């Protein structure tokens, strides 16, 4: 399934089975969500945090909140 938003940045946890995407919506707002994929499951990435409905006015603002909400992300950015 295609993602309806433009992903601006995807930050992967080492091992590349978990990531956070920072994205821009069609209306110009920004957001983020955390995803996981399991190598043995061919369905691909799926959301595991459900942060995608939060709305931010900038990419930087979305990234700051993502770092606060996702414990492993802060040290990687």
Between residues 3 and 32, the one the model is more confident about: 32
Would you give the end-to-end CA distance of the chain in angstroms?
Answer: 28
Would residue 1 count as lying in a domain?
A: no
Would residue 65 count as lying in a domain?
A: yes
pLDDT tens, position by position, 14-61: 888 899 999 999 999 999 999 998 877 778 888 888 899 999 999 999
> What integer pLDDT is reported at residue 2 of this predicted model?
53
How many structural domains does the chain have? Answer: 1
Would residue 60 count as lying in a domain?
A: yes
Would residue 12 count as lying in a domain?
A: yes
What is the Cα–Cα distance from 57 to 38, expressed in whole angstroms? 32
What is the Cα–Cα distance from 12 to 17, expressed in whole angstroms? 7
Domain that holds residue 31: 6-76
pTM value? 0.85
């Amino acid at each position: 399934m295609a993602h309806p938003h433009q992903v601006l940045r995807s930050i992967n946890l080492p091992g590349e089975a978990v990531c956070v995407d920072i994205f821009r919506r069609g209306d110009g707002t920004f957001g983020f969500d955390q995803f996981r994929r399991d190598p043995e499951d061919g369905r691909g990435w799926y959301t595991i945090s459900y942060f995608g409905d939060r709305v931010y006015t900038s990419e930087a603002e979305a990234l700051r909140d993502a770092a606060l909400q996702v414990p492993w992300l802060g040290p990687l950015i």
